[in-house]
Amino acid sequence: MTIPLLTLNNETTMPAMGFGVFQTPPDATIAAVEAALQTGYRHIDTAAAYQNEREVGEAIRRSGVDRADVFIETKIWITDYGYDATLHAFDKSARKLGVGHIDLLILHQALPGEFTLTIEAYKALETLLADGRVRAIGVSNFMPDHLTRLRDETSVVPAINQIEVHPYFRQSDVLTANAEHGIVSQAWSPIGGITFYRDGSHGSTLDDPTIKSIAAAHGKSPAQAMLRWHLQQGRQVIPKSVTPSRITENFDVFDFDLTEDQLAAIDALDTGVRGGPEPDHITRETFGLEISEA
C-alpha cells in the first residue's frame, strides 16, 4: 500500500503518515523502525532529545530501503538553541543518523522566556534550508502567539507545527492558526496514548464508547478510527509502537472513510485538557538536556 503524500508550503512532499520513536529505547529502536519500513512506512520521526537518532539511521541502512525513499524528520532540543549552537546541533543529528541531509528539521519547543534564542535557532534552520542541508523546516508545540512572533522576525513560514492532538485534546485554536499560516498540523500522540500513560484520570481513548462504536461500524480498531479522523481532517500523523502487529494495524487506515457525523462526534470528545507540558512553562532550567556529540 502506498501512503498518500502531503505537499508542504515549499512544495516538498511528505507522507501523510509517519512512524514515531518517542520513548522507544535505543535497544528497541532498530527492530521497531525496520518493522515499520517493512510494513510500508516511509517517514520516520525522531529527535535529538529521544537519544535514538543513531539507531534510526542504522535501521534505515539495514532495511534495504533506499535513503531517497525515506523521509527523515528530527528535532533540535532547547539546550542547543542559538544560531551557531543550532547549526552544530544539525551536524550532531546528521552524524548520528548517518545522512548528508535531513528532510525535515524542526525546533522541539518554543522558549517563551528566551524567545530571542528561539528566533536565532530558527534563523539557523533557515540557513540550513537555503544551503540544501535540509529540505523543509518547522516547529513543534508552538502556540498561536509563538507563531505570530516567529512570523514577525523570520522569513520562512514553518512547513509544519507538530503538536499534541487526539480526540481528548484537539487544540482547535492551534489547528486554526496553523491553517491560517499555511502550516501543516502534525499530530503527536495521535491516538491519545498520553492520556493513559502519563495521566490516566480521563481514561483511555481506546476504551471510549464513541470511538469504539465508530470503529466497530467500519470493522476497524479504535486506534485505526482515530488515525482516520486525523487524516480526513488534513493532519499528518505519527503513531508509535514497538509491537509489529500494532505497527501493521496503524498502517491499515487508507481503505475506509468516516462520515461527517462520525468526525464531528470525535471532535466533540475534546476535554481541553493537555497531556504534555504547558508550552509556556518550558525553560532550559527545567527541561535542559545535554545532547551528546556522538
- Rounded to the nearest 10°, the torsion over CA 226, 227, 231, 233 is 20
Q: Name which of 261, 193, 266 is nearest 229 in CA terms.
A: 266
Q: Name which of 113, 75, 73, 58 is nearest 281 in CA terms.
A: 113
- Catalytic one among 41, 50, 122, 168? 50
Q: Name which of 190, 201, 202 is nearest 166 in CA terms.
A: 190
164 CB neighbour count, 10 Å cutoff: 23
- Asked if 31 and 242 touch (Cβ cutoff 8 Å), the reply is yes
SS3 label, residue 161: strand
Place of cell 500522540: 189
Which region, left, alpha or beta, applies to residue 20 given φ > 0 means left and ψ of -120 to 50 means alpha?
beta
Residues making up the annotated binding site are: 108
Q: Name which of 131, 96, 153 is nearest 72 in CA terms.
A: 96
Specify the amino acid at residue 126.
Answer: E
10 Å CB burial of residue 255 (0-12, 13-18, 19+) is exposed
For residue 104, what is its C-alpha cell? 525535515
In the chain, DSSP assigns E strands to 5-7, 13-15, 19-20, 43-45, 71-76, 102-107, 134-140, 160-164, 184-188, 236-237
- With vertex at residue 17, the alpha carbon angle to CA 261 and CA 281, rounded to the nearest 5 degrees, is 85
50 noted as active-site residue: yes
Residues making up the annotated binding site for substrate are: 108
Query: Which residues are tagged catalytic?
Result: 50
